[in-house]
Structure 1
Amino acid sequence: MPRQVQYTFKGETKVIPFSFSQHHDPYEAVAAEEGIDLTRFLQMEQQIAMTSKKGAKAERDFRRSEFSRMGFANIHFVQDDEES
């Protein structure tokens, strides 16, 4: 069954198809859908991962805050019961 990602971008809710063969995570998929270049974001995220003592939590917090700043909200995989 194909996966889908639902997100809100600048007040508009959208659902897009998702494949792990094309994107690392749902955040990368929604950025690609909206035409946003993540090169600098991914570099900063990597630096945070290497220097943070909090590890994955620091990365998640950075990712959420930066995507919120870009205009994204509620990025998540669609559950089977949400589709109907």
Structure 2
Amino acid sequence: MAFRIRYHYRKQQKEIGFANDKHHSLYDAIATAEGLDLSDFHRMEAQLANVSRNDRKTMKDFQEEYFRKLGFSQISIFREEG
């Protein structure tokens, strides 16, 4: 089964396909779909990973907050039916 990502960006609901072999995370997938450069995000994410030592909640909170500031909301991933 394939995965889909649904999100709101700039007051529009959007939906894209997601494949683990093409994207590191769902955040990478939506940024690529919107043409955003995530080099600063990846740099800060790596620094946080070194400090937090695999604290998943801290990483998730950072990712959600960063993308919220970019204008994304209601990000969800689901399996395609069929």
Who is 2:61 aligned against? 61
- Measure, in 2, the Cα distance between the counterparts of 1:57 and 1:41: 17
Who is 2:32 aligned against? 32
The one-letter amino acid of 1:30's match is: I
Q: 1:75: how far off? A: 1.1
Q: 1:3: how far off? A: 1.3
The one-letter amino acid of 1:11's match is: K
Go from structure 1 to structure 2 and tell me whether the alpha carbon gap of 1:13 and 1:53 turns closer, same or farther (over 3 Å shift): same
The one-letter amino acid of 2:62's match is: F
Q: 1:10: how far off? A: 1.3
Superposition TM-score, scaled by structure 2 size: 0.88
The size of the alignment, in residue pairs, is: 82
Matches within 5 A, 1:60-79: 60-79=60-79
Superposition TM-score, scaled by structure 1 size: 0.87
8 Å CA contact retained: 2:3, 2:80: no
The one-letter amino acid of 1:43's match is: R
State the 4+ residue runs in structure 1 displaced beyond 4 angstroms.
Answer: none
Unaligned runs of 5+ in 2: none
* Paired-residue identity, %: 33
Who is 1:15 aligned against? 15
Q: CA RMSD in A?
A: 1.9
